[in-house]
């Protein structure tokens, strides 16, 4: 979502890094570019004014200090100000000391409240809480049924005494759901409320009635990150009409400009608590202002990646795999297990996007085909257990069978085996404390893609052709023809060596028995000689 903003800011900083000393004119020019980038990203104008004013004042100090690397100081100033705009320190959720904690979701229709209720429920369940989803959205068609399906997928209980579709009292449903949670000792109650296509008094009044009936500990305003400038007006209307304690940003994986998340904190003063980054129930994370600022500035988000890995990876399995990799005993069975673990973190684009400096490779990242991972998995699954454990037994017929079973080609099977062997060798070398030899490139376990494979083949053909044509071709047609004929001869019978004494015209003299007969010459040469 922040790709365009990130690219614009990175281009501005590149020009600063090339300067040894930073002047106030340089600061003004950079702040002007930042202002235009923020406006293009649909950030609210009051937020843009406050942001650029603070950056200018702090950057002037960096310019006057005549620091060794003033460009990096400006990057630090922008990072600090982004963290401030996005909310500063992350706020912990408010939980009840006794009895169930009540979280109420509010927002417009289509913002993703129902799906987000399931994501939040799953996140809390994995944190050791028992969760109840309450279906108080009785207006939108099939909203109750959708919440039941989402709750089942999330592994949490759903309270839905009314069928919905315009039938039932949403306030009474919320009240009875809280009573059910009290009776059954449930830790957290999440109330899903109805929305509208636009802000109106009927929706606000219903939300206020539900709020007064259950006294929620947190009222979370679900905001669609793709609605642009309307986000400010909608957030302000809910703040004044119902009130909320925190914001949940949905659809952060979209291709909109992303200004909503930069505007809502500055306009409403409420912190952003969670971010929804995809359609899956696992695409949900706590919002950290410093980490999001790092993503925008292409500094990566390694902390979030580590936390996700710790939460979703099997620690014992990870340690066992690390030991096997260090000893060089890693097999394709282990690789398949690791691939399944990686899938728990989400798409490869999401994982790679959290690494620092990936903005410089945005085009390659966008063109990455997720289906390549599926093809790799299909190839490994088409092998027998014995073949996965010992790739040395993979002869031609076995590779042809694997290719047919996985819907790939023998070339793709060969490439996977070759890369796996190279990666295993590299990991074994590193396990002994050495540095890997990357002169031939970093081994890639995933498919390189059709375009990359084609480029590699073209490079190999060009290198082969260059090797054959090391000797410059003569401009004399007769002499050039002689060179071509000599190139077709076996290596031991070519001319061009240092001629022994007595050799006419510099050509080597060979014993009669060492010379090849006509039948021993290549077929192409026989045809050229006219026989």
Going by the annotation, the residues of the binding site are 107-114, 192-196, 250-253
Written in H, E and C, the secondary structure of 22-40 is: CCHHHHHHHHHHHHHHHHH
Q: Which H or E run contains 246?
A: strand 246-250
**Number of other residues whose CB lies within 10 A of the CB of residue 324:** 17
Q: To 5 degrees, how large is the angle CA 46–CA 11–CA 13?
A: 80
- Backbone phi, psi, residue 158, to 5°: -125, 130
- Tokens 């449903």 sit at which residue? 173
- Tokens read off for 356: 């620092």
For 392-419, the DSSP string reads GG--HHHHHHHHHHHTS-HHHHHHHHHH
Counting beta carbons within 10 angstroms of the beta carbon of residue 263, is it exposed (0 to 12), middle (13 to 18) or buried (19 or more)? buried
Are 145 and 153 a contacting pair, CB within 8 Å?
no
Which distant-in-sequence residues (6+ apart) come within 8 Å of 442 by Cβ? none
Annotated binding site for GTP: 107-114, 192-196, 250-253
For 337-365, the DSSP string reads HHHHHHHTT--HHHHHHTSTTGGGGHHHH
- Tokens 């073209």 sit at which residue? 458
Q: How far apart are CA 522 and CA 488, in angstroms?
A: 8
**Number of other residues whose CB lies within 10 A of the CB of residue 460:** 10
Q: Which of 65, 82, 83, 62 is nearest to 16 (CA)?
A: 62
- Tokens 């009222």 sit at which residue? 219
List b or e across 304-320, with b for residues whose CB sees 16 or more CB atoms inside 10 angstroms. Answer: bbeebbeeebeeeeeee
Quote the DSSP letter at residue 521. S
């Amino acid at each position: 979502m922040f790709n365009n903003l990130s690219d614009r800011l990175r281009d501005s900083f590149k020009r600063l890094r090339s300067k040894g000393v930073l002047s106030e004119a340089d600061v003004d020019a950079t702040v002007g570019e930042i202002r235009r980038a923020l406006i293009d990203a649909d950030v609210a104008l009051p937020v843009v004014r406050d942001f650029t004013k603070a950056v200018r004042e702090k950057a002037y100090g960096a310019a006057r200090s005549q620091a060794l690397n003033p460009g990096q100081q400006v990057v630090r100033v922008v990072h600090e100000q982004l963290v401030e705009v996005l909310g500063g320190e992350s706020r912990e959720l408010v939980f009840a000391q006794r009895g169930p904690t009540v979280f109420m979701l509010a927002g417009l229709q289509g913002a993703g409240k129902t799906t987000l209720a399931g994501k939040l429920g799953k996140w809390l369940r994995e944190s050791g809480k028992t969760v109840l989803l309450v279906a108080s959205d009785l207006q939108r068609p099939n909203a109750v049924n959708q919440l039941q399906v989402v709750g089942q997928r999330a592994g949490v209980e759903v309270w839905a005494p009314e069928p919905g579709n315009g039938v039932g009292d949403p306030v009474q449903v919320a009240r009875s759901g809280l009573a059910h949670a009290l009776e059954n000792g449930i830790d957290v109650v999440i109330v899903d409320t109805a929305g509208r296509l636009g802000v109106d008094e009927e929706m606000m009044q219903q939300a206020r009635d539900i709020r007064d009936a259950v006294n929620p500990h947190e009222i979370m305003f679900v905001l669609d990150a793709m609605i642009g400038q309307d986000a400010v007006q909608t957030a302000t209307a809910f703040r004044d009409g119902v009130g909320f304690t925190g914001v949940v940003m949905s659809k952060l994986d979209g291709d909109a400009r992303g200004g909503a998340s930069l505007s809502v904190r500055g306009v409403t003063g409420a912190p952003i608590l969670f971010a929804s980054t995809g359609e899956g129930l696992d695409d949900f994370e706590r919002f950290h202002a410093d980490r999001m600022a790092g993503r925008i500035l292409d500094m990566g988000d390694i902390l979030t990646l580590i936390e996700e890995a710790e939460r979703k990876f099997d620690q014992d399995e990870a340690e066992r795999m690390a030991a096997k990799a260090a000893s060089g005993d890693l097999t394709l069975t282990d690789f398949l297990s690791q691939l399944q673990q990686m899938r728990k973190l989400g798409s490869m684009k999401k994982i790679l996007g959290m690494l620092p400096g990936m903005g410089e490779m945005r085009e390659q990242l966008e063109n990455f085909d997720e289906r390549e991972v599926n093809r790799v998995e299909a190839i490994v699954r088409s092998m027998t257990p014995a073949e996965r454990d010992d790739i040395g037994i993979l002869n031609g017929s076995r590779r042809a069978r694997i290719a047919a079973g996985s819907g790939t080609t023998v070339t793709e099977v060969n490439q996977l085996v070759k890369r796996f062997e190279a990666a295993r060798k590299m990991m074994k070398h590193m396990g002994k404390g050495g540095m890997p030899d990357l002169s031939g490139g970093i081994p890639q376990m995933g498919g390189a893609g059709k375009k990359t494979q084609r480029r590699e083949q073209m490079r190999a053909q060009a290198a082969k052709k260059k090797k054959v044509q090391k000797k410059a071709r003569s401009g004399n047609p007769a002499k050039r023809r002689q060179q071509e004929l000599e190139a077709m001869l076996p290596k031991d019978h070519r001319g061009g060596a240092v001629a022994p004494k007595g050799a006419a015209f510099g050509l080597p003299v060979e014993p009669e028995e060492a010379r090849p007969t006509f039948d021993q010459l290549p077929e192409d040469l026989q045809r050229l000689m006219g026989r």
